[in-house]
Amino acid sequence: MVSIQKEAQGCDGLDHTVILLSNPTYYMSNDIPYIFHQDTNFLYLCGFQEPDSILVLQSIPGKALPSHKSILFVPRRDPNRELWDGPRSGPDGAIALTGVDEAYTIEEFRHLVAKLKGESNVVWYDLRKPVHAELHSDYMQPLAEVKARSKNRIQAVRHLVQNLRLIKSPAEIERMKIAGRVTAEAFTETMFASKTPVDEAFLYAKFEFECRARGADILAYPPVVAGGNRSNTLHYVKNNQLIKDGELVLLDGGCEFSCYVSDITRTWPVNGRFTKPQAELYQAVLDIQKSCLSLCSPGMSLENIYSLMLSLIGQKLKDLGVLDSSITDSHFFKAVRKYCPHHVGHYLGMDVHDTPDISRSIPFQPGMVITIEPGIYIPEDDVSAPEKFRGIGVRIEDDVVITEDAPLVLSADCPKDIYHLEQICGRSS
């Protein structure tokens, strides 16, 4: 509500109400649900892990912001439904679990909506991207239509929550340390289990098992397990082909631990030995990544590091003979982006692509968490590249906390130097 106070300067005498909807339950078919995963903005503000709920933060008449009360509206307890789905908290349980000031059944939310239609009430809610379609159409759309005709139109709240989420507290960073350590250990075990030939599906299953066996709640996203030329497809997630002797595998994976995620990528030879061209391309990416990591300090930005990454990739590609050394400046960055079409990184937190509305150009502050993930991708049908490099794709990604001092690499325990990768992978061959 401090953020609301800053945004609402000049709106003295008005009441302010923030409304966030939980996620619904999604179904893969008929009555077979997907595992429930809460909307992260809702979860960040109240910690409630059940669907079909509404969080309200409301200013208190007669008291100045940021004074407010918190209210949860949750589904009524239904013994018949709970027989199938397990126990629900109900209003009493919601208060006990979350510490909100008040809680009511979802049906009672309509009484609050009626009060919010007045001119003296400013409502903060995200109309453009409703999280819960049914709750939106039942309650918020009718309210929005009334407010559209008033002086106090509904104000967006998403960007305010993202600004809060951008800077992690020490407690949040501790959870992300665990997620990083668990994922790093899972990578090491997956590398150790590599052999030739090996199914991508086996490495996928091994990675997920090792994450869950160490306490991860779920995988953070469907991992990329791409052997050979398939590593040049950035979001390859079929993970159903055979990786042959002499090929690299690119694994981009992460886990979720206590609502916070990791996102790591490693590339290694499944037979335990890099070929000379593979080692040359891999070492080029590793050198670039280490240079980018060294710049992760307050005052820099993802956009600054991205510009450096492109320059470094371009120079390495010239050194390797992939780009002509005489390429003109006007064509240089276009040529580089052909071989690395993605950004250097993104923000990380409760979501893999965390706080997506925050610009990558803002200066780093202590407590921000980012990824650094340069890559070079040379498809097997790229006749302009030296033949020895065709079909090789390499990406190396680490998770980094910005601090006042040196960057804290959450994934530091995950091997990435050629010697260490060959030692680990070679033990299984």
In this predicted model, what pLDDT tens digit does every residue of 317-331 receive, in sequence order? 999 999 998 888 889
Residue 10 has pLDDT above 60, yes or no: no
pTM value?
Answer: 0.95
φ/ψ of 313, rounded to 5, equals -60, -45
φ/ψ of 154, rounded to 5, equals -65, 135
Residue 101 has pLDDT above 70, yes or no: yes
Tokens of 385: 């590249």
As annotated, the active-site residues are 31, 235, 252, 263, 342, 346, 353, 373, 377, 395, 397
Q: Which of 31-35, 245-249, 285-289 has the lowest mean pLDDT?
A: 31-35
In this predicted model, what pLDDT tens digit does every residue of 45-81 receive, in sequence order? 999 999 999 999 998 887 877 778 999 999 999 999 9
Q: How sure is the predictor about 429, in pLDDT bands with cuts at 50, 70 and 90?
A: very low
Residue 154 has pLDDT above 50, yes or no: yes
Mean residue pLDDT of the chain comes to 94
Residue 428 has pLDDT above 60, yes or no: no
Q: Which helix (H) or strand (E) holds 71?
A: strand 68-74
Give CA separation, 129 vs 49, 125, 325, in Å. Answer: 20, 10, 48
Beta strands in 179-239 (DSSP E): 198-199, 218-219, 224-227
Which residue in 67, 44, 55 sits closest to 18, CA to CA? Answer: 55
Beta strands in 228-379 (DSSP E): 242-243, 248-253, 255-257, 260-261, 264-269, 369-372, 375-378
Q: How much is the pLDDT for 227?
A: 98
Q: How much is the pLDDT for 60?
A: 82
